Structure 1
Amino acid sequence: MSYRADILGPMSRSGTFRLLLAGALVLVVGGVATTAYALRRSRSDSSSTANPEVGTTAAASPSPSKPAFVGWSDPELVGKPWGTKVNGLLTFRGNPTRTYYGQGPVPKTMPVHKWQYPKTGGMCAMSEDKGKTTQWCGNGWTGQPAVFERDGRTWVVFGAYDRNIHFLDAATGEQIMPDFKTGDIIKGTVTVDPDGFPLLYSGSRDNYYRVIALDRGVPTELWKLSANAVKPTMWNDDWDGSGLIIDDYLFEGGENSQFHIVKLNRGYDANGKVTVNPKLVFNTPGWDEQLLKDFGDTNVSIENSVAIYKNTVYFANSGGLVQGWDISGLKEGKTPTRTFRFWTGDDTDASIVIDEAGFLYVGSEYEKGNARSKQVGQMMKLDPSKPDNPVVWSVKDQGTRPAGIWGTPALYKDIAIFDTTGGDVMGLDRQTGAVRWKFHVPGNETWQSPVVVDDTLFIGDCSGVMHAYDVGDTNAQPKLLWELKIGGCIESTPAVWKGAMYFGTRAGAVHSLSVS
C-alpha cells in the first residue's frame, strides 16, 4: 500500500533563485540500454561480491587471512562507514568512494515530520554568480547534511545559503553551538574529521576553504585556504566539493579549477585544544590544453567531491574531464602523477562513485550537445585499468537540453541508480548497463542524489515531495512505500541515520523526518 500526505502545505519559493530547467526529458538509450560500445567483461565485475550466489558450499578448510591493506582507501570498505572513530555520515556520500548512504532503521511507512530549521523564514542571502546578483535559499544540490555522534548526542551540521554553518541537535532541531558565519553562501557538504579530532572542514563562495575547531564553545577558524593561493586558476573562487581527510591529508577540488592536497599536521596544544598547521603540498589544474581545445570553454571548475580508491584519487570537472592521480608515494614526498584521463564531452559535476573492483560510475550533463557527449552518453561505467578504451557501458539521456545527470549515482546490490535532471530515476544493471527499471518523479530539475538504506530508495523532487520506494528486488519495478509533501524544491541529498532523515529545500529550510 502506498501513502501520501500533505502535512505542511506548499512553502513559498519566492526569493529562491536558480533557473528552473524546463521541458520533459526523453531518455534515449543506444540500442536498448547501451551505446554501440561493446560490453566488456574482461575482469570480474563488482556485482559478484554484492550478490553472492545462493547455496555455495563452504571450503573444507579456512582460507588464509588477507594481509592488511596498505594504501589510502581500502576496497573492502566500499559501501561501508568511514572509519571506526566517529559514527555518522561524515562527508558527502559518506566515505572516500562516495558509496555509504547511512544507517537504518528507515521510515518504511509514513514518517513523522519532527522539525524544520529555521522554524519560520528561510536560510537565504544575496550572492553574485557570473556577474548577476540574486537571492539564494536553502543549502544547495551538493548540501547533504553531515550527521554524527559526539558527546552523547547526535549532531546535524550543514552549510547554507544564509552564509552560515549550522550545528543542530538531531532529536530537536535546536542549536548546539552558535552559527559559524562566512562571507558568502555555502554550497557544499561539510566534512567531519573521521579520526576523532574536533574539526570541521568547509568551503564558501567567499573564496576560502576552512578548518574549524569545535572544542572551544564557539566554532573557531584555525586555518583557511584561498582559492587564489595557487596558479593558474580558472572560473571562480567557490568551493562546492566535500573534502576527504585520510592519514592527516586533506584532498579537495575547487571551482578555481585546481585540485589540492594539504598536509594538516593535526594535534593538541598544552591546554588540550585541537591544533592544525596545514601545508599545501600539491596542486594541479583540473584541465589540460587538450580539454580547452576540445571543449571550447574555460568553465572547467571542479564542483564534485573527489573520490579515492586504493592509491588513486579521482575527480571530474565542468569541462567533462575525468582524471585519476596516483598518490601512492605522497607520504614519501613523491609528486602525484596522472594515470587516467577520459573526456565525457560535457559538464560533469556529479561525484565519481567507485565500486569494490575499482570501476568508476560517472554521471554527466547534456548541455553542449556536442559530438563527444552524443557519442559517450550521460551515464557510464569506466574501467580505469584500460585508459585507452575505458568505457564498459554507457546510457544516454539526450532529450530537450539541458538534460543528463546532476545527482551522484548510488550503488545498490547489482544495480547503479541514476536520476536525470528531467525527473527519470533508473536502475541500471551494473554489469551490462541494461535498464532494469525506470520511473518518473515530477517537478523536473531532479538534482539530489538517490539514497538507498535498508532496501529503501529515497528521492525528493522539485514539486516538494519526498518519495520512498522498496527496491529490495533489483529486477522488479520499485514499489512506492510513501510520499510526503514538504514544500519547496527538495534539492539537497538526504542524510539517513538511525531512524531519521535530514534534507534541505529551496524554500530555505532543513527538515527532519522520523520513524516515530
Structure 2
Amino acid sequence: MSQQKNKNPNRLITIVVLLAVTLVILLALLVFQRGLGNGLVANSPTPSGNISPTSSGNEPIETNIPDPTPTPEPTPPPEITDPEQLVLDITKLPSYVSKTTVSEGTYQKKFSDGATITYSVYQNDKKVDYKPDYVLAFPRAKAYTEQQGVTTFRGNNYRDIASYGTRDIKEKKLEIIWEQSTGAISAHNSYWPGSGWTGQPIIINWPEETRKVMNINEEFKNKDLTEVIYPILDGNIYFLDLETGKPTRNKINLGFSIKGTGMVDPRGYPLFYTGMGLNENNGKLTEFKYRAYNLLNQSEIFSIMGRDSLSYRGKWGAFDSSGILSKETDTLINVGENGLIYKTKLNTRFDAASGTLSMSPEVTKFQYKSSYNNPGADYGIENSPAIYRNLMFTVDNGGTLLCLDINNLEPVWMYDIKDDTDSTIVLEETEDGVFIYTANEVDKRCAGGKASKADCNIRKFNALTGELVWQRDYTCYYRSGINGGVLGTPLLGKDDIADRIIFPVCFTGSQMDGKLVALDKKTGEEIWVRELANYSWSSPVDIKSDDGKTYGLLCGYDGFMRLFDPMTGEDLDKVSLGVNIESSPSVYNDIAVVGSYAQKIFGVRIK
C-alpha cells in the first residue's frame, strides 16, 4: 500500500508535463499557421461558417458546406490510326481456312459447309501473286475523318450514321426552308426523275485553306461554307449552300443517271468520287465509269472503267456503291456491279498554298467466283462496303456475304444470304465483340415466276467468325423491278436507344405497303412494329438532340419525310416533299437534306 501511494505523485507530474508539452505544440502550430499566410495549410479548404458569439454551446452549429468539386471526366485515350497497330492477322481468326492453289495466281478456299470461293488478284490487268507493299487497316468509325460533315454513305467505314453536329429539338416539327429544282433522264423503257436510291447527299464544312482555292462562287469564298454535294438521277452533280440552297458553283453535267451516293475525300482534300447507274440518256450511250473529280476546277482527274474483261457479269458496269478511303494510306476501296473489288493506291498530292492537286493511281483488282452464285448477273455489288480494320464486308447480287481481308486481298469467310442484297451492312463494335447486321430482299427467289413471295431475312453475325447470332424473317411480296424486302440501310441505335436496330421492310402485306421494325440487338426480338401504308426504300436516320434524346427521320414512297420517336415508332411530325422519296437524307446540325422524284432537292429544318 505504501509503495503505491509513493508512485501516484510521479504519475500526476508526468501527466501534467505531457499536457503542457501538447499545449505548447498546439500554440506553436497556430502561430506557424498564421505566419504562413498563403502557405500549404492556409490553402487547405476550410468551412466558411462560424459559431455565433451568443451561442451557449448546446445549440446546433450552422456550417456552410462547400460545394463538392466535380470529378473531372477522364480524358479518352487517343484513337489508334496507325495501320501497323490495327491490322489483324487473319490466320489467327477462328474462321480462317487455308487456301489451295488452283493454278498460277488463282487460289481456292473450301469452307465448313462445303462452299468454295475461287479468286485471283490483278495489277495492270495481269494476274499476280499479291503481296502488299504497305499495311492497310482502317481505324474505328469515329476516327475515319476529322472533317465536319457526312462525307460518304452512312458517314464512315462502319456505315452507322448519316448525321453530324448538334441540334436543340424543342418543337418536334419539320419545316422546308429551301428547295432546288432538278431534272430527269429517259432511257430505254424507263424514266429517271430527280434523285433515287440510294441518293444520299454529301455534306462538308470545308477547311478554310481548301475553300479558298476551289472554284466556289465569290459570295461564298469568305463564308464558313458548309456545302451540299449531290449527284442524282438527272445526271448532274449539284453544289449547294446548306443554309440557303443556293448554288455554290456550277453543277457538273455528267449526262447519265447517278443512282448511288458519292464520297468526298475524308482528308478535306478537294476531291469528289462518284459512280454512275445508267449509261443511256434518251438513246445516247456511253461507257460506265467510276470517277474522281478535282474540285479545284471540277475536272475529272481519275476514272475506273466499268466494263472489264475480268468481270463475270459481261458488259454491265454500273457503280452504285459509295467508296471508302483510308486517309492514313491514301487508299480507295470501292466495288462494282461488274463483280470486281478495287483497291487503289491514289498517290495523291495536294498543296493548298499553291492550289495544286495531282494523282497517280495504282489500281489492284480482286476477282472472285462463289459456289453460292449462279453465272452472270449474280456477280455484282450494289451496297457500300463496311470495314473493320482490314476486314471488309459486302454482299453481292447472288447472295454471297463475303468477309475479305483488304490488306492481303484474301477471303476470310462467307455465308449464303440466299438473295440479292442492296442494303448496306452496318458494323458495330461492342464489349461483347464485333458484329454486322444485314438484310436481303425478295428478288431472285421469285423472279421468272418462281414464287409470288419469300422471306426477307434480317441477320446478325459475329464479324470475326462468321457465326450467325440471330435471324428474324418477314414474308414479303415480289414485284418485278421494285423488289420487296429491305432496300434501306438500318438505323443502328446508340446512346438512349442503344438496345435496338431499326429496319424498313417493303411489301409485307401487299405490293405497296411495308413495316418499320425495331429489333433488340442482342436477341433479334421485336421491340415494336409499325405498319406503313406505303413502303420505304430510304434509310432511316438517327439524330440526337442537345438534351440527349434521340429522334429518327424516315422518308417513303408517299413523299413524306417523317420525324418519329425511335422508342415507340410513332410520328411526331411529317412534311410532304412531293412524291416518292427513295433517297436517304443526310443531316448537318438542324438541317436535313434529301431529294425526291418531285425533281427537287429540299432543305428541311428540324425544330
TM-score normalised by structure 2 residue count:
0.66
For the pair 1:89 / 2:170, whether they are aligned, the reply is no
Cα shift at 1:363: 1.1
1:114–1:81 CA distance, 2 compared to 1 (3 A): farther
Aligned with 2:184 (options 107, 117, 124): 124
Cα shift at 1:211: 0.8
| Distance in 2 separating the partners of 1:63 and 1:501 | 32
Partner of 2:338: 256
Partner of 1:348: 421
| Distance in 2 separating the partners of 1:350 and 1:220 | 31
Aligned length: 426
For the pair 1:110 / 2:173, whether they are aligned, the reply is yes
For the pair 1:314 / 2:393, whether they are aligned, the reply is yes
**Counterpart mapping for 1:22-171 below 5 A:** 68=80, 70-71=85-86, 72-75=137-140, 77=141, 80=142, 82-84=144-146, 86-103=147-164, 104-105=166-167, 109-118=172-181, 122-127=182-187, 132-150=188-206, 151=211, 152-171=224-243
Aligned with 2:539 (options 437, 449, 452): 449
Cα shift at 1:301: 1.6
For the pair 1:418 / 2:503, whether they are aligned, the reply is yes
| Distance in 2 separating the partners of 1:482 and 1:214 | 37
Cα shift at 1:65: 5.7
Partner of 2:473: 396
| Distance in 2 separating the partners of 1:399 and 1:223 | 41
Cα shift at 1:369: 3.6
Question: Structure 1 residues 347-356 or 235-244, which shifts more?
Answer: 235-244
Cα shift at 1:91: 0.3
Cα shift at 1:67: 8.5
Name the SS for the 2:372 alignment partner. helix
Greater Rg, structure 1 or structure 2? 2
Q: Residue type matched to 2:477 in 1? A: T
Cα shift at 1:102: 0.9
Whether the 8 Å CA contact 2:185–2:193 is kept in 1: the answer is yes
1:364–1:105 CA distance, 2 compared to 1 (3 A): same
Cα shift at 1:161: 1.3
Structure 1: tracts of 5 or more residues without a match: 1-58, 329-334
**Larger helix proportion of the pair:** 2
The structure showing larger relative contact order (alpha-carbon pairs under 8 Å, at least 6 residues apart) is 1
Whether the 8 Å CA contact 2:201–2:262 is kept in 1: the answer is yes
Partner of 1:482: 573
Q: Identity of counterpart residues, as a percentage?
A: 28
Q: Residue type matched to 2:324 in 1? A: L
TM-score normalised by structure 1 residue count:
0.77
Cα shift at 1:117: 1.3
Name the SS for the 1:265 alignment partner. coil
1:424–1:224 CA distance, 2 compared to 1 (3 A): same
1:64–1:465 CA distance, 2 compared to 1 (3 A): closer
| Distance in 2 separating the partners of 1:504 and 1:106 | 24
| Distance in 1 separating the partners of 2:299 and 2:321 | 21
Instruction: Please report the RMSD computed on the Cα atoms of aligned residues, expressed in angstroms.
Output: 2.6
Partner of 1:31: none
Cα shift at 1:63: 11
1:67–1:114 CA distance, 2 compared to 1 (3 A): closer
| Distance in 2 separating the partners of 1:200 and 1:106 | 31
Q: Residue type matched to 2:578 in 1? A: G
Name the SS for the 2:469 alignment partner. strand
Q: Residue type matched to 2:367 in 1? A: T
Partner of 1:243: 323
Partner of 1:366: 442
Cα shift at 1:189: 0.8
For the pair 1:463 / 2:558, whether they are aligned, the reply is yes
Structure 2: tracts of 5 or more residues without a match: 1-70, 87-136, 212-223, 280-287, 508-513, 545-549
Cα shift at 1:125: 0.7
1:442–1:223 CA distance, 2 compared to 1 (3 A): same
Moved over 4 A (4+): 62-67, 374-377
Partner of 2:362: 279
| Distance in 1 separating the partners of 2:291 and 2:556 | 31
| Distance in 1 separating the partners of 2:255 and 2:143 | 33
Name the SS for the 1:510 alignment partner. strand
Whether the 8 Å CA contact 2:373–2:399 is kept in 1: the answer is no
Partner of 1:497: 588
Cα shift at 1:101: 2.1
Whether the 8 Å CA contact 2:204–2:228 is kept in 1: the answer is yes
